[in-house]
Amino acid sequence: MNTVLNIAHRGASAYCPENTMAAFRRALELGATGIETDVQMTSDGQLVLIHDESLQRTAGSPRLVKDVTLEELRELDAGSWFGPVFAGERIPMLRELLELVKPYEGVQINVELKNSVLPYPGMEKAVIEEIRFQAMGDRIILSSFNHYSLALCKQLAPEIRTGILYMEGLYEPWEYAARIGANALHAYHYAVLPEWVAQAAERCIAYHPWTVNEPAEMKRLLDAGAAGIITDYPDRLGELIKAPNGRR
């Protein structure tokens, strides 16, 4: 039986400030077999890992990511908002995460392109170039709520897997995924039922629901046949996967 991907959402974001190197390292320590993160671009074209378009919530600046240079971004504290022990954490670059994970054979990275609110022209090409530079194409899943962007990624790099992010109500999403060449469905977890997982699996399309933190819901999705689960608590999911009735 295939191993269920234990994907740490923005790193181990229940324990460390999200999308920081501390969160990514902690995810690996807790046994995550995948790390999910969000990529955006600075004004000078650098790929950085942060969820919000604004720097306010996690770095205390009212500016937008797209309006600052990498040097300006690196001056911001991205850890203190979570707790004083994380003071001085910086917003990392995509390259730093790839270099961290590279020695951990088999660990996957889900890179979400955050381009559904603000456009980042050329981001798809830049992300793919960085992935190829690190020779990690077989360990990456590119996802986005911007499905035009995913289609472009597939044109630029057919060898890199893509995952469609969506909320509830997408009719026969496996058919839609096949149409744009996507390999996975990154559905809000309420939009995952066993019969739908089975329909997708018949077309070699995996379900990776998000963001699942309660053990009961994790168990339901494991029983439904999800190929991976995105969670803030990779330790909780890991325990369920290792349980006698879990899916290894």
| Burial class of 178 by CB neighbour count within 10 A (0 to 12, 13 to 18, 19+) | middle
Q: Tell me which of 51, 186, 189, 208 is the catalytic residue.
A: 51
d(Cα 35, Cα 48) in Å, to the nearest integer? 15
Sign of CA dihedral 106, 109, 110, 111: negative
d(Cα 85, Cα 88) in Å, to the nearest integer? 9
The answer to whether residue 189 is catalytic is no
Q: Coil, helix or strand for 86?
A: helix
Neighbours of 209 (CB within 10 A): 26
Q: Coil, helix or strand for 198?
A: helix
| Burial class of 246 by CB neighbour count within 10 A (0 to 12, 13 to 18, 19+) | middle
DSSP-derived letter for residue 155 is H
d(Cα 180, Cα 177) in Å, to the nearest integer? 6
pLDDT, position 236: 98
Range 201-204 contact pairs with CB under 8 angstroms and sequence separation of 24 or more: 201/225, 201/227, 202/174, 203/174, 203/177, 203/178
Architecture of domain 5-242: Alpha-Beta Barrel (3.20)
pLDDT, position 244: 78
pLDDT, position 2: 59
Q: What does the domain layout of the chain look like in residue ranges?
A: 5-242
pLDDT, position 1: 43
Q: Coil, helix or strand for 116?
A: coil
Mean pLDDT taken over the chain: 97
Residue whose token pair is 């603000």? 118
CB 18 within 8 A of CB 51: yes
Residue type, 179: R
Pairing assessment for the beta strands 108-113 and 47-49 based on DSSP bridges: unpaired
Q: Is the pTM of this model over 0.95?
A: yes
Q: Coil, helix or strand for 50?
A: coil
Torsion of CA 108, 102, 22, 149, to 10 degrees: -50
CB 224 within 8 A of CB 194: yes
Chunked into runs of 10 residues, the chain (248 residues) has average pLDDT values of: 88 98 98 98 98 98 98 98 98 98 98 97 98 98 98 98 96 97 98 98 98 98 98 98 79
pLDDT, position 245: 77
Pairing assessment for the beta strands 206-207 and 47-49 based on DSSP bridges: unpaired
Q: Tell me which of 9, 147, 186, 208 is the catalytic residue.
A: 9
Percent of the chain with pLDDT over 70: 98
The answer to whether residue 9 is catalytic is yes
